[in-house]
Amino acid sequence: MKPFVRTLIFCAAIAGAANPAAAAEISMAANSTGKNLSFLREQIAKFEKDTGHKVNLVTMPPSSSEQFSQYRLWLAAGNKDVDVYQTDVIWAPQLADQFVDLTEATEDVAGAHFPSIIQSQTVNGKLVALPFYTDAPALYYRKDLLDKYGKKPPETWDELAATAKEIQDKERAAGNPDIWGFVFQGNAYEGLTCNALEWIKSSGGGQIVEPDGTISVNNEKAAAALERVKGWIGTISPNGVLAYQEEESRGVWQTGNAVFMRNWPYAYALGNGDDSAVKGKFEVKPLPTATDGDQPSSTLGGWNLAVSKYSDEQEASIAFVKFLGSPEVQKARAIELSNLPTIAALYDDKEVAAAQPFMPNWKPIFQDAVPRPSAVAKVKYNEVSSKFWSAVHNTLSGNGTAAENLELLEVDLTELQGNGW
Amino acid sequence: MTEVTVAGPPSAIAGKRIGSDLQAQRLRSAWIFLTPTFLVLAMVAGWPLVRTIYFSFTNASLTNLSAAEFVGLQNYLSWVTLKSGRTIYRGLLADPAWWNAVWNTLRFTVISVSIETALGLIVALVLNARFPGRGLVRAAILIPWAIPTIISAKMWAWMLNDQFGILNDILLGLGLISQKIAWTASPETAMIAVLIVDVWKTTPFMALLILAGLQMVPGDIYEATKIDGVHPVKVFWRITLPLIRPALMVAVIFRMLDALRIFDLIYVLTPNNTQTKTMSVLARENLFDFDKFAYGAAASTMLFLIIAAITVLYMWFGRVNLEGER
């Protein structure tokens, strides 16, 4: 026994000597949407060089709902293997207890971020996550096709449908059988909640659950908005759009098979990549509204960085989070991936404007973006969202009318609400 | 334990005692060898099962499992009578989403296992015949079964994609369909898509088990039927099928158990589709996605009970004897 123990101590001593005391090994869980992972790898290399820490990347699927349940499981089990999480904007109220309070650690930098975004990540006075980038979807349109048929970018949903139909039919007649008018995210998942919230809100139909807790979703304007979209399925949008998430719709768009697409800004840089069939042929504008008078509505998205309270390397993790949230990294992200920065000053940056000409115009859009009812529904938000997207998906796939499904949804949500959110 | 062996019997009845001693010793060693298995089973299967059943009687939340309080049968069924005299039922057994999942699961199980049994039987009969390259074909047919479900589901998801999926491309090319079908999206075809993939994946498994049964059938019976000039179809129904029945019944049980708790294929292919949501998918959704850990535990417990009940019924009706005696 004794020689064994001696060897063990010896080994430990060697390992200790080889590792400088300050260097820590941390792991970060991040989604694999677009080029997120390759960007993070680049930045991690810089961070490792500067600090001597080592960062491992834990690859997660692109779907936000799938990441959430996995993270929730890990955090509930007190998992120490993952130190830093890339978190969706809606998760803060649900996971607040499991993350480190970043208020003090980020005192010096938090002021540079948009206050509304910092606010969205603050739960009971605790800063749960530091903003990484924000998101507000756009209407992507094929400028070349619109010019070809003498059309203007649409301002209302009906205009969009009419333009899409006309160009789609004419293009098909001209020998392009695969072209579709409009693609969006119609799969039954969190993304459909975002899409449908935009349709309803931009038609004056409220935002599912209002900030004061009232369940407002069962109204005529909301039903009309969903019926309008129902009319698109199979006419200007492929039937398969009901199984599309972001990446599937981008697939149709980027191969040149769609006139319009609703997607997040990340698709802008990818669409202008060298392997893209629509490179230089498209532009983006704010989403349409129901009538000219309505307010354009974009669902507020965005990702943030949180440190697990079970992490053994909290100090290094916080340093890493501050590094990723810094103006330099956010600027690189804006230029390379066309993600919207959360730091106000970057919108006036010349290099950003040169690389992403659309970006300076985006500042007002996401400042007025519609938040999903995650702050009011708190831990019940996922169920609210799931019931909402199911009602919408049922309507779009012809399983009941919008009015019927929304009425049922109201009953379900009222029962879920119980004595209060 | 050793003391018992040392305390020897009186010599008068030594002969008889030695025999029972040997038997006792055998029994003991059997238990000694079995104990580790039971311990491991208790740890990896028994304990989680007991925990799940326990949580189904509490109001546990995933964020704070230790704060769970006992609430009785509330997750399964509870009711309140309103002042108006109307009674409102709540809980899993009054939840239409749960019964929809039960119905989906049963429908999936019956259809998929029937098709797989029929196809598996055909494949096994073909593979049982002697032809050159039989070994190679037998190995090749196992490939779908060897691919992990997650990977084959993802692979099929791309093949079933409405715009650039190969399946639509082939069907269009053959002129069988005039429009691209959105397999996983539309309510009518979602279950069909899941069934296609499941049949593709598990028919080899059925074929393999049935083939093993076929090889147990003695060849001289067939020779006798040949001499008597019995029609091959009659041979199949009167001789082959009754003789491979035990193997077939066991294969069907295995498949049925798998099909009843299907999760991975549906989770990848059509995760939130009401038409394909099974009991396991619903349980997971409540356990982890929603803040209803206890409710999900109740769904898991019900899933366990339903599978157990169906298996017992099947074995009873089918008179399947897993101990190998008839």
Look at residue B202 in the predicted model and tell me its pLDDT: 94
Q: Are A414 and A421 in contact (CB under 8 A)?
A: no
Residue contact B285–A255, C-beta within 8 A: no
pLDDT at B281 over 50: yes
| Both tokens assigned to A95 | 């996971």
Spell out which residues of chain B touch residue A255, defining contact as CB-CB under 8 Å: 164
Residues in chain A: 421
3-state SS, residue A163: helix
3-state SS, residue B186: coil
Q: How far is A257 from chain B (nearest CA, A)?
A: 9
Look at residue B12 in the predicted model and tell me its pLDDT: 47
Look at residue B5 in the predicted model and tell me its pLDDT: 45
Spell out which residues of chain B touch residue A397, defining contact as CB-CB under 8 Å: 185-187
Average pLDDT on B28-41 reads 93
Spell out which residues of chain B touch residue A399, defining contact as CB-CB under 8 Å: 187, 274
Spell out which residues of chain A touch residue B189, defining contact as CB-CB under 8 Å: none
pLDDT (tens digit, 9 = 90+) per residue, B151-180? Answer: 999 999 999 988 888 999 999 999 998 888
Look at residue A150 in the predicted model and tell me its pLDDT: 94
Mutate to test the interface with A, among B159, B281, B285, B290 (most CBs of A within 10 A): B290
| Cα gap B106→A164, rounded to integer Å | 43
> Residue B286 — φ and ψ, nearest 5°?
-70, -40
Residue contact A242–B292, C-beta within 8 A: no
Q: Are A376 and A123 in contact (CB under 8 A)?
A: no
Spell out which residues of chain A touch residue B288, defining contact as CB-CB under 8 Å: 69-70, 72-73
Q: How far is A21 from chain B (nearest CA, A)?
A: 34
Average pLDDT on B234-247 reads 90
pLDDT at B57 over 90: yes
How many alpha carbons lie under 13 Å from residue A271 in its C-beta half-sphere? 29
Instruction: Strands of chain B (E only): list them.
Output: 78-81, 87-90
Q: Are A69 and B288 in contact (CB under 8 A)?
A: yes
Residue contact A243–B271, C-beta within 8 A: no
3-state SS, residue A421: coil
Spell out which residues of chain B touch residue A248, defining contact as CB-CB under 8 Å: 161
pLDDT at B321 over 70: no
Report ipTM for this prediction. 0.76
Residues 6+ apart with CB under 8 A from A261: A139, A140, A182, A183, A184, A249, A250, A252, A253, A267
**Which residue type occupies B171?**
L
| Cα gap A210→B171, rounded to integer Å | 48
Give me the long-range contacts of A160-163 (CB less than 8 A, separation at least 24).
A160/A260, A160/A288, A161/A228, A161/A231, A161/A232, A161/A236, A163/A259, A163/A260
Spell out which residues of chain A touch residue B289, defining contact as CB-CB under 8 Å: 65, 68-69, 72, 382-383, 386
Minimal Cα distance from A189: which residue of B? B272
Q: How far is A137 from chain B (nearest CA, A)?
A: 23
Q: How far is B176 from chain A (nearest CA, A)?
A: 18
Q: Number of CB pairs < 8 Å for A and B?
A: 92
Give the one of B61, B185, B187 whose C-beta lies nearest to A240's C-beta: B185
Give me the long-range contacts of B234-239 (CB less than 8 A, separation at least 24).
B236/B125
| Both tokens assigned to A191 | 């993304």
Q: Are A205 and A218 in contact (CB under 8 A)?
A: no
Can you name the residues that pair with A304 across neighbouring β-strands?
A: A87, A131
Q: How far is A379 from chain B (nearest CA, A)?
A: 6
Sole residue written with tokens 């049994």: B117
* Side-by-side strand order, sheet with A301-307: A54-60, A25-31, A84-88, A301-307, A130-135
| pLDDT band with cut points at 50, 70 and 90 for residue B6 | very low
**Helices and strands (DSSP H and E) totals, chain A:** 19, 11
Chain B residues bordering chain A (beta-carbon distance below 8 Å): 61-63, 65, 161-164, 180-187, 270-274, 284-285, 288-292
**Which residue type occupies B175?**
G
The DSSP secondary-structure symbol of B70 reads: B
- Hey, what's the torsion of the CAs at A372, A377, A383, A386, to 10 degrees? -20
| Cα gap B299→B285, rounded to integer Å | 10
Look at residue B79 in the predicted model and tell me its pLDDT: 87
Q: How far from B300 is each of A133, A137, A159, B66, B108, CA to CA, in Å? A: 39, 38, 49, 19, 18
Q: Are A320 and A53 in contact (CB under 8 A)?
A: yes
Q: What is the pLDDT along chain A (421 residues), one digit of tens a residue?
A: 455 555 555 555 444 444 444 689 999 999 988 889 999 999 999 999 999 999 999 999 888 888 998 998 899 889 999 999 999 999 999 899 899 999 999 999 999 998 888 988 999 899 999 999 999 898 999 999 999 999 999 999 999 999 999 999 999 999 988 899 999 999 988 999 999 999 999 999 999 999 899 999 999 999 999 999 999 999 999 998 998 999 899 999 999 999 999 999 999 989 998 989 999 999 999 899 988 777 788 899 999 999 999 999 999 999 999 999 999 999 999 999 999 999 989 998 999 999 988 888 787 777 678 889 998 888 889 999 999 999 999 999 988 999 999 999 999 999 899 888 8
